[in-house]
Structure 1
Amino acid sequence: MGSGKRPIQAASIWVKRQPPKVKAFLAVLTGMAALVLLRAIVHDDDNLFVAGEAVHSIGICVLIYKLTKEKTCAGLSLKSQELTALFLAVRLYCSFVMEYDVHTLLDLLTLATTLWVIYMIRFNLKSSYMGDKDNFAMYYVVVPCAVLALLVHPSTLHNFIDRFLWAFCVYLESVSVLPQLHVMQNAKIVEPFTAHYVFALGVARFLSCAHWVLQVLDSGGSVLTALGYGLWPSMVLIAEIVQTFILADFCYYYVKSVFGGHPVLRLPSGVV
């Protein structure tokens, strides 16, 4: 077991010593390699979306276990949960007025769970809530997302408010995890269940992003034109990529910690 860890630890040390530009190149190279592997394994791109939803559900189950069994919400960001509830509520509204399918039901279940988490943090487990660490100003993400949605939104036949809200929830979802990462950066030490939950979010985001990227490649870009014209189709894809890269750094340290045999994740400065 120890001999298996040594090459991974050596590679980790080597990567850590590289300048930022080299690290960024390696991250892009790793992402491309993962996409090629997924392309070879998965023949239906929609399966990636379903897999992403399944991984997200696993993360939620881990979160439920933490709150019900561990009786603590330490390390969790209430603001991230509130942003998640906000974009899910907006997306549900858009689904009902525009087009709804099985994903609408999944969003409804996720919203119900998120509201329960918010209730637990605000009331039942309030004493363990790290409010001093959860000090990320929500308007830093809500206002820019709203302004961007005013400027770039779908070009459908729906009324302006619906199109604005659709764009707003897409942009807000891509940055909703920032307060959670901010809490973990402030705390420096991330307890296991919180780390598992955030890692699950990272994997789910990557699978969702891979679903869109592979669809674009397979269709020769026609899937983007199906979403409308102008900047909106490209912004949908960019939002997916942003979600993935926001969590990429954390996922790297998570994997490094797991292979290093450390039950508690320690984040260095500058991860978020």
Structure 2
Amino acid sequence: MNIFRLSGDMTHLMSVIVLLLKIHTIKSCAGISLKTQELYALVFATRYLDIFTDFVSVYNTIMKLIFLATSFSIVWYMRHHKIVRRSYDKEQDTFRHLFLILPCLILALVVNEKFTFKEVMWTFSLYVEAVAILPQLVLLQRTKNIDNLTGQYVFLLGAYRALYILNWIYRYLTEKHFVHWITWISGLVQTLLYADFFYYYINSWKNNVRLQLPA
């Protein structure tokens, strides 16, 4: 494992910790899109179907279990916890995320590396992850003012994917036959969706002002 992969994994884990800190400690999910969290739960559920059949390493298994457990825990908190769900802005979180799922599934059935159930589901998870942040970004644009923890969560989530791109570049340069076009293109699309947010987040940090996104 190279430093970019490890940094990406740790950044991803930090984003989850920040979100759980907000939900569990502050008992608030204000500014957080349930639609995005449901998409991420779907991503991990379809990506890690091999968790009990194909052992890679202890580290790999632990990370899979963490992301599965935390993604479904966050959805549960936002849907069922009496205090947390009161802060959920359902009226603003109206992105029709279910309409993203069918096109991703069709694309996975057509464009994949191997036409098997696990491989198609793995490819499907890549396509869904590429667009899963859209409901969250739309919600942030609607709510305008964004609290620090929400801003940090989204920034870390985007940084994780950017670090994975560096990981792919490093592996392409150092490993023979390392070519995964589906993963690369999906990851690039996902990172580009964060570009506008990164710009305003970094500007707010440099100027020490509260993060605001334009309409």
1:207 aligns with 2:163: yes
Match of 2:100 among 138, 141, 146: 141
Find the counterpart in structure 2 of residue 38 from structure 1: none
Find the counterpart in structure 2 of residue 188 from structure 1: 144
Find the counterpart in structure 1 of residue 178 from structure 2: 223
Alignment partners' CA distance in 1, 2:26 and 2:200? 24
Q: Which has the higher helix share?
A: 1
The within-5 A match list for 1:29-48 is: 46-48=2-4
Find the counterpart in structure 1 of residue 192 from structure 2: 245
1:113 aligns with 2:70: yes
TM-score (norm 1): 0.73
Alignment partners' CA distance in 2, 1:242 and 1:79? 19
Find the counterpart in structure 1 of residue 79 from structure 2: 122
Find the counterpart in structure 2 of residue 267 from structure 1: 213
Amino acid across the alignment from 1:73: C
Secondary structure at the counterpart of residue 266 of structure 1: coil
Find the counterpart in structure 1 of residue 201 from structure 2: 254
Contact 2:130 2:187 (8 Å CA) reproduced: yes
Any stretches of 5+ residues in structure 2 without a counterpart?
A: none
Alignment partners' CA distance in 1, 2:189 and 2:54? 25
Amino acid across the alignment from 1:122: R
Alignment partners' CA distance in 2, 1:99 and 1:121? 32
Secondary structure at the counterpart of residue 49 of structure 2: helix
Alignment partners' CA distance in 2, 1:50 and 1:65? 22
Find the counterpart in structure 2 of residue 16 from structure 1: none
Task: Say which one has the larger Rg.
Answer: 1
1:81 aligns with 2:37: yes
Contact 2:31 2:150 (8 Å CA) reproduced: yes
Q: How well do the aligned residues superpose, as a CA RMSD in angstroms? A: 1.7
Q: CA offsets per residue over residues 199-237 of structure 1, 9 Å max, x none?
A: 0101111001111122223347x201xxxxxxxx31221
Secondary structure at the counterpart of residue 116 of structure 1: helix
Amino acid across the alignment from 2:214: P
Find the counterpart in structure 2 of residue 172 from structure 1: 128
Task: Give the number of aligned pairs.
Answer: 212
Alignment partners' CA distance in 2, 1:145 and 1:99? 27
Amino acid across the alignment from 1:127: R
Alignment partners' CA distance in 2, 1:258 and 1:91? 34
Residues 1:247 and 1:141: Cα distance change in structure 2 (over 3 Å): same
Contact 1:81 1:114 (8 Å CA) reproduced: yes
Amino acid across the alignment from 1:246: L
Q: Percent identical across equivalent pairs? A: 33
Any stretches of 5+ residues in structure 1 without a counterpart?
A: 1-44, 225-232
Secondary structure at the counterpart of residue 223 of structure 1: coil
Tell me the CA shift for residue 187 of structure 1: 1.1
Secondary structure at the counterpart of residue 153 of structure 1: coil
Amino acid across the alignment from 1:88: F
Contact 2:51 2:64 (8 Å CA) reproduced: no
Secondary structure at the counterpart of residue 244 of structure 1: helix
Tell me the CA shift for residue 58 of structure 1: 1.4
